Amino acid sequence: MDLRQLNALLAVAEHGSFSAAARALHTVQSNVSTHVARLERELDATLVDRATGTLTEQGAVVVARARRIQAELDALLSDVTSLNAEVTGTVRLGMIGTTARWLSPLLIDALAHELPRVHLVIVDATTSSLLPQLASGRLDLAVVNLPLDEPDIDVEPLFDEERVLVAPAGHPLFDRDAIALADLDGVPLLLEPTGTTFRDELDAEASAAGCALVAQAEVDGMRLLASLAFQGFGAAILPASAAPSWVGGDWRRIPVRGLPGRSVGLAARRHALLSAAARALRDVLRTVVTQEAPGQGGIHVQTAHGAAAP
């Protein structure tokens, strides 16, 4: 078994066919086929269904391991290079969209000054989409919604943010300065789907308050949910970063009394050793959050003891 065989299989998995894999690797299809066939003979297993170009069950297992191997090799190169010169390498960072809106420009700017040879790849997605990519090694780190119940993922809190009601003009609650959760009993709302952390926490809080939230529509994606509220399709409960005060529009941000905020944290694979580049980026990200989050409105940085700073 050698790296060329694993890279060929990874390319087939990523691009869906032997021909597409060959183009991605800048080689001919016969080379890709040969490397995969040799790997299959060595493992005594069929890894790719030749009729469809999809992975078999055994192929999926090998690809999952191969991705981790590739991530470790990238980390090795970054570590060795950092000992000889400044930190260099590629870091793949996942980030939930509402946080990415304000954090990614600041992080990119900070990296340009402090880690100019680190290449950052940001993947904007929901927590439920980011976690499998983190677990498989496609991502090095991920900024996600907390809490998580993932035994193979370590998390550290970054900040808490208030949850607010965004009500468009004409909505019955538009003129309210503040509301209680009970005021939303039976009111149709734009909500994330049941099963997402944000929605499940809202439902639990509503139940404790003796009321029930009614979904006008369910949208898996906080930025889209916010956009629909901004455009007048309905009211939505959102984290503060999804409805920044500097965004104009015919809508209002209304505090919800007694509703706990959302926690956001930084996640990494528990048994993976981060590369020098990923460790350096993590430190820069922490600094940027500590310095810049308080100015975003409704966002409170976590202290070293886990409590949100005022």
Q: What is the CATH number of the domain that holds 293?
A: 3.40.190.10
How many other CB atoms are there within 10 angstroms of residue 112's CB atom? 11
Residues 256 and 167 in one domain: yes
Q: What pLDDT, on a 0 to 100 scale, did the predictor assign at position 274?
A: 84
Question: Does residue 11 sit in the same domain as residue 146?
Answer: no
Enclosing domain of residue 29: 3-67
Does residue 132 share a domain with residue 98?
yes
Q: Which residues of the chain have pLDDT under 70?
A: 75, 77-85, 245-248, 303-310
Pair (169, 134) in one structural domain = no
Q: Do both 134 and 116 map to the same domain?
A: yes
pTM score of the predicted model: 0.70
- Asked whether residue 125 falls in the same domain as residue 270, the answer is yes
- How far apart CA 159 and CA 201 sit, in angstroms, is 17
Looking at the structure, tell me whether residues 148 and 274 fall in a common domain.
yes
175 and 108 share a domain? no
Q: Give 272-300 pLDDT, tens digit per residue.
A: 778 888 999 999 999 999 999 988 888 99
The pLDDT of residue 83 is 61
98 with 225, same domain: the answer is no
Q: How many domains does the chain have?
A: 3
| pLDDT reported for residue 62 | 87
